[in-house]
Amino acid sequence: KEYGDSGVVVLAVGQKPGEVFLLRADMDALPLQEETGLPFASKNEGCMHACGHDTHAAMLLGAAKLLKLHEEEIEGTVKLLFQPGEEILEGAKGMIDAGVLEDPHVDAAMMIHAISGVPTPEGMMGVFRAGAAYASADWFQIRIQGVGGHGAVPESTRNPLGAMCTIYEGIHEIMAEHRAPSDNCVMTIGEMYGGDTGNIIPDSAYMRGTIRTFSEEVRANLKEDLVNMVEHIGKAKRVTATVEFQNACPIVQVDASVHESLMQSMKELFGEEKVFLVEEPASCSEDFSYIAAEVPAAIGWYFIGDSRNGYTYGGHHPKVNFDDTYLYLGAAAYAKAGIDWLKRNR
C-alpha cells in the first residue's frame, strides 16, 4: 500500500495471530552530485542515495522475501515501511499522519542504519542501549532588521552586522556559561550573511543554525535562552532581531524491552563476537524519533564499510560507498528481529 507522496508499506502476515512489529527503512535521496563512479551511480543530476539509504531499502526488500519464505514462523504481522523524507526530518511524521501506525495497529518497531567510513570491521552490528539514542534537532533562523546606508556615515545607520556578530558570540556564551558539560548539547551556526558590497551598510542580516540535545528540558531551556539573548541584543544595538524555529525533530528514545529482544536476536544471527552495545548516543538526528515516540522501538547500526579497507567516506559524502556483499545479513537481521519479537510477545 502507498502512503503519502511516495511511502510504501508491505505486510507480512503470519499463519498465527499476534502483535504487529514495524521494520523501517528510509529511502530518500540527498541533494548531492554523486562521485562514486559505481556502475549503479545516480543518473539524476544533484541527487544521490547517500547515507546508506539505498542499502536500507535493499535490505528491507530482502527481508520481505525472507519473511514470505518463512510465513509459518511469523506469529502475528510484520509491517515493512519504506519511508521517504528522512533527510528533511519530516518523512516519518508524514507517514504517521497518513496512518502508517494503524490498520493494523503497530505494537513495536525497529530500524537499521548502515555505517561506512569508520575503522570497524564489516559485518559488525551495534545495538543502541535503552534511553536517548539520537539527538533532537531544532533548526532556527535569526533575522536582523536595521537601517542601511553609506559606510562613510555610519551614525545615520543601524548596522545589523554588528548585532549579528554579537549574537554569534552570545551563542558561544550561552553554551559556555549557561549549560553544564553534562547537559551534552550543541548550538551551532552554519550560515551567516548580510550585505553585498564593502562600502554600504546593509538593511538586514540573516543567520541560520541548529540546536541538538538529549534532554527535552535542556532543549526547551536552550530555545528560551536563544530567543531572550537575540531580542536583548537587538534592543541594545537599536535593531529588530527575531528567532524563528523550523523543522523540529525530537530525541530518539530506545525502549529497554525492544532493545533486549533486538540484542538477543542479533547475537543469535551474527554471533556474540560480532554484536556490541552502542553506549553513547549519536549527536546527529533521525526522524525515526516520531515513530519511537508513539511505540516502543530499538535501533541497530550495521557496519559495512571499514575505512581501513578503502571505505574512506562517511554517509553524506558524494563518494560514500558500502560493501554490498554484506547486505544479505542486513536483510536477515531485519527479518529475524521481526519474527523473534513477535514470538517473545505473544
Instruction: Kindly report, residue by residue over 80-106, the tens digit of the pLDDT.
Output: 999 999 998 999 999 999 999 999 999
Output DSSP code: residue 176. I
For 270, half-sphere exposure in the C-beta direction (CA atoms, 13 angstrom radius) is 30
**Contact indicator for 196, 211 with CB cutoff of 8 Å:** no
Grid cell listed for 125? 552490528
Domain ranges of the chain: 2-135+251-344, 137-249
Report pLDDT digits (tens) over 286-310.
Answer: 999 999 999 999 999 999 999 999 9
Cα(263)–Cα(240) distance, rounded to whole angstroms? 53
Question: What is d(CA 1, CA 9) in angstroms, rounded to the nearest whole number?
Answer: 5
What whole-number distance in Å separates Cα of residue 97 and Cα of residue 83? Answer: 13
Q: Burial level of 166, CB count in 10 A (0-12/13-18/19+)?
A: middle
Burial 83-119 (b: 16+ CB within 10 A, else e): bbbbbebbbbbbbbebebbeeeebbbbbbbbbbbbee
H or E element, residue 95: helix 91-97
Q: Topology of 137-249 in CATH?
A: Alpha-Beta Plaits (3.30.70)
Domains 2-135+251-344 and 137-249 agree in fold: no
Q: Which three cell numbers stand for residue 92?
A: 516519518
pLDDT mean across residues, the chain:
96
Nearest CA among 82, 111, 154, 162 for reference residue 289: 111
Confidence of residue 317 (pLDDT cuts 50, 70, 90): very high
Residue 204 has pLDDT above 90, yes or no: yes
Please give the model's pTM, rounded to 2 decimal places.
0.91
Q: Residues 164, 205: contact at Cβ < 8 Å?
A: yes
CA distances from 205 to 15, 156, 236, 239, 246 (A): 62, 17, 16, 11, 18
Whether the predicted pLDDT of 5 surpasses 90: no
pLDDT for position 3: 77
Q: Is the peptide bond before 250 cis (omega within 30 degrees of 0)?
A: no
265-274 residue pLDDT tens = 999 999 999 9
Question: Under CATH, to which class is 2-135+251-344 assigned?
Answer: alpha beta
